[in-house]
Structure formats: C-alpha cells, structure tokens
Amino acid sequence: MPRLGQGTWKMGERAGLWETEKQSIRRGIQDGMTLIDTAEMYGSGRSEQLIGEAIRGMDRNGLFLVSKVYPHNAGRRHMRESCEASLKRLGTEYLDLYLLHWRGGIPLRETVECMEELQAEGKIRRWGVSNFDREDMEELWRVRGGEKCAVNQVLYHLGSRGIEYDLLPWMRERGVIPMAYCPVAQGGSLRRGMLQNAAVQEIARAHQAAPMQVLLAFLLKQPDIVAIPKASLPEHTEENAAAALIRLSDDEWKALSDAFPAPDHKTALDML
C-alpha cells in the first residue's frame, strides 16, 4: 500500500470541474500516488464514477483502490450490493481495501462476516474500518475475525493529534495501519493558522517548499502513516506528491510538534 495517496471527498459533484478533477487524479497516478480513496457516500457514487473514468485503460495491478461502505449498508441485506455497485462505478473487479465508513447500528460481528465473505469471493483484497476510536477497536478485536482488520482511517494532521494519546499506540502494537484523511486539515481558519505558523514557515523556507507540503511531511516522517490529501487541481496534486521528497530532520519534526503539541490526556476522536 503506497504511503501517500489521493483523497476524493467532494470530488465529482460539480459537472464543471469533472474534467479538471479527472486530470488531477491522473496526474497523481503519474507522480506515484497510486492509492486512491473514495466511498459510496461521496457524491452518492459520483466520486467513484469520476475515478472509474480517470483510471480507464490503466494497468489495474498498478493501482490501489479504496472505497467505503455506509454503516447502514454494512450487513447481510446490503453489503454485497453496495460493494458490487462500487466496483461497477469504478470499473474494476476488486477493491484493494474496503472500509466500514463509521460505526452504525449493525453489529460488528455481522459486518466482519460480510467483509470476510467478500474477501473470500475475491471482490476485496483486505478490509478495515474508519473513524474508530480505541474502544471501538477493542470491541472489534473481541469479535471473531476482527483482528484481521488491516486499516483504520482517521482524521489526523499536525493540528489534530488526539489519536497519538492511546489509539495510535494500540494500533501499532497490533499492526493496524493508520490512514490519515484530511492530513492538511479541513476548514479555513484552522488551516490558515497552521500554514501561517512561524515554525511551519521557517521549515518550508529551509526546504524550498510550500507550507502545505510541510504539514504532509510531518505525517510522512512517521514510517507507518498513510496520508490521503485531496487535490482538485493537477498543480495541487503535484505539490502533494513532492511532499514525499521532503526529509524533515528530528529537530524540525520536534519544532513542529512543539508548535502543535499532542494532548497529554484522552480526547474525543476528531471526525468530519
């Protein structure tokens, strides 16, 4: 699984941006960001359709496709139907990773059984979850087969480090990969505050990089973090890809960490 991929939340929703967004996805693939994350929820399937057009004719083995199932579809009545609809929109025979988008009312036992069946049928390669806090993960681990969860996709960036207190250590002990969505933050005021921070600005100048790239480099310095920034314009996709080339020193990483410290106590899991 590539460590830097492409998020597609809110992409494919505006007809006037369709071709530009499609070119953005293709540019990302050309630049090595072959992991593409989507969900049946995104644009009610239009994000998956956009990706399907963008990757048409490409070598499927060179791509890593991730999609997510609605919680209310994550059971016996609808999961297979949801998965097959996602596959059709994407124009592929299988998903590399299929995630439960967030906790819902369907028992985890039933969701795990359905995930395992889809995997046995070859419709998905691996499965995981999204927006699960430590208590959710512990409950999942008590379910038969729950320990086969490969990934937990959570909101994580320099300004939102709550998972570092107990969730991230728990996942690392069990080999569950953290996938960071919104890795450069969502929301104007929060993102501006991070980009305008003195430490971020200084490190960006030292690496001749954009401040946004420094935010990504902060996460990518941790060897097990997968980040999926979204970019609707090809030039922004190129900036994201170039962030993987930034090598922060330990002192630079500490300066960023000191500027935006992780909490020293349990906090509610950030979600969007």
What is the set of active-site residues?
A: 42
**Run of H or E including 169:** helix 167-174
**Residue 237 identity:** T
Q: Are 204 and 188 in contact (CB under 8 A)?
A: no
How far apart CA 57 and CA 63 sit, in angstroms, is 12
How far apart CA 224 and CA 233 sit, in angstroms, is 27
Q: Where are the beta strands (DSSP E) in the chain?
A: 6-7, 35-37, 64-69, 95-100, 124-130, 151-155, 177-181, 226-228
If one counts every other C-beta atom within 10 angstroms of the C-beta of residue 242, the result is 15
Task: Point out which residues pair with 7 in neighbouring strands.
Answer: 37, 230
How far apart CA 24 and CA 79 sit, in angstroms, is 30
Please indicate if the annotation marks 101 as binding a ligand: yes
> Which pair of tokens denotes residue 248?
């922060």
Binding-site residues for substrate, please?
A: 101
